[in-house]
Structure 1
């Protein structure tokens, strides 16, 4: 009361009201190996009503259960495995698995979910890795195409190979190796942890033209290094090689030579020359285009696909400017083969086309007229009489004959053209002392003629002959000197000077008569006397020399 104090105890009892939700106690995290058997307890979850005076019973239930790995005993709170665990199946195998558990108070025998009667909690379960996953490829089969010209060491394009081992730690360390009998490729990397992008690299040069290199079936093997047993997996890689125009056409032989007749008609086959190419398709043999070039190539045609060479159309076969042996015997040309339909690699070989002679030209005599002379009593010409015809066709075989006159005293040797006197023939000079022969030269197809004028030289082989062997004449004794008594006449079968006759008195004239040595006229040479001599027997001689 201002001076004295007094105390008293007051007891206040607080009556509990149900206004607090359940609370969790103990650990909310646990761990177990991923190979734990089904039913293994991972964790015992405990929860109670936070109201102390009259706590209610609490029921536990799983709200979220990723992959349904667990089940919860709502009475005991035991969280058990519901099926085999697979750590690698988790969205993030390196992180723990989060489950949501709800604790709800039971009111009137029924769990009541509200802010005052239920509580959520996150339960964390770490699934410990067990080496139960081999390294795995993102695909079982791969297919790659690459050109044969790919440089050494180049990675295979568009492979997109990834190997992943979802285990952790040493369980995820693996090696990579390649099963390749030819050793044409190598694999990188040789080792990896967890995951790796795999590269196959070219380890040698490739050749599509080798049938053994057109397709490779490779096997890539991924195998764990530090586990027992070592889990592994395989993937096949099919590498298909595509052809590149890396080979030029090749001729089996070369240089080439062939022949054709100079008068061969257009289209006559000369040769068929083909090349081969180790490439395929248009880069190979089927894509080769042929071409002929060089001086004179226009006289020939070539089928640019088959390689068949023929004689080109020309107005005058066998004669210039067409093929003509006599103008040009050989054609040295270039024969080209180009692949890729004429746009690729090429090879050129030389081609010699030789013309064979055809009998397309007539013989021609060296001169159109030959002249010679021969004594009428000769048996041969001196010098020899030869006619000669020439034929520009080298294959021609010329033969000679006398076409006219048919009864000529001469004959001609068919091969040499030598003209001779026929055996037993008699040459007599004619009025003009000349014989004209017509000689024919033939090559079997064509003929030519020439004239041979032969002059028969007269030989004094005939004696003069009088018209009669006896002449009779009479004359008066008193005839004057010079009076013609008679005229004798002789003839000579010879000709020319050999037929010029001179007359003379050989005997019997007794100087009483004379004769003109040219005319043969006998005349009184001196005074006659009948009484002294009345008859004269005069012997007259005719001489042609």
Structure 2
């Protein structure tokens, strides 16, 4: 009520005050040396007349100008008097006319051309236009001639508090972390007032909170909003609406005000630990579940949000820590329990785990509140499932001698049904692993028997697969690999390692090693091979050769004497008996062929043919072959040369035609042997251009050898 009464009194007295201010007093100045025109304005300007008069006394013109003022927003029944123009040139005869021009002249401001009174005929708004520049002039009433030059003056619109503060950027939104201390800055707001900030208190603003206490406070002058309560909890209330007021006139009564809203959101901090919804979880899982399968999920709720609610899960205790694992689902924020090792209902039917959930991101400001973690118990029950048969061993290794009898048992596999209601088992061989059907198996007891003979020397290992099938459920099968090793027996006699052929020099010495031989045995005794060598009983006293066992399990053949002659006997056969060390031992007879050969003085074999001609010069076989190659090349050159000469139709140079005819030989059907060849003059083969009757010694030697060997 007091405020309402004050507003009514203000509305009643304001027009009277404005009318009193704008009364048009006529101030007449005594004539001076210069003509003077006095502009009188509001009473606010009367106290300045003495100063203005002093200025006019220094002027050479008849106008005295000050700023005129008019209140904005005044709307009375009559136009408001702004001021009066007067000149001392006016003797009172009313022969002077006043003229007004410029901003708003005639439309906003009107002048009485006789009295010089200026009135505002429209309602003015300082915020629209704060001042007007006009031009005043005094002219003769009859002639309209200027009595003085025109001069400008300004009418200023005086401000009144007619604009309320405004929040141009509202409504506002701000955030502040929850659990903040008292006085934490939230944000600041700004209001604007269109009134004149330099005139009075019309634009002096004071801020206050109308709604939002006691949670927030505001500084009256800076409009900074702060928290007024400490440790506000987002989980209790997340959003607050604050109504802010800005009031002008310094906040005093009668001032205008504007309001806006500020929405304050508390942001989350990690001030809450995770908490399991249940203290005990129950899950069941079949024993034949695949590894890695999810068994169940546990969840710890956290009142925080975002990363502050992220938790990691771990199995920290229990009797199933080796069989189960838990992983964290970042999306659902729960823990997934998975199987990491196979289960067996018959072995253990249930497991108990202790699971912990702990915050990933810990805020050190709240770590003193206690551990940001929680635990729960998980009980997992294993359910029975129809499982396939289980072999007593994951693999089997069997051994059998290669001379084992057909249908003999070489081994046995066993399997059982692990289920409580055990089913009988039938066994079979996967024939894809036994294409030759060398083995059989008893379907009832799993005994493996031999179906075909074995030979270790052909194959040492046989790998087959045994299948076990439940009789009550044929879909439940298991497989197991069986490796069968064939053991050796002494069923192969030793023999020479290769086809040996020995050579004996005619000029050899007694006791000389003719040949060294070794033996081989297809069997594989455990301690290695050891051979015994001997001659046939009837050749024990062989006059020509003897044998000697070497330390490396080989045999050397030695000559008993010298003076072997290939003309008398070219080849000797020496049977040798070779025995192994098996049980029982086996033996065989291998014959060594010994050829008598002609050798050089250093023991190099040159020829083993009894009819071969041995060169007296002692050339080796390699040298002889090289010589023959050179001779053949020489003959080819001679033949080519002769052929080319004949193609040129140039007769060969023959010293004596009769010599040529005498060297022509005719053979009958049966050759004459040496008589015919002796009639052949070998000199005719010589180079016609060379020395007559001469052949190179080497060529003569070759021809002689060829003749003897033919």
Give TM-score scaled by structure 1 length.
Answer: 0.50
More relative contact order, 1 or 2 (CA 8 Å, 6+ apart): 1
The structure where helix makes up a greater share of residues is: 2
Give TM-score scaled by structure 2 length.
Answer: 0.39
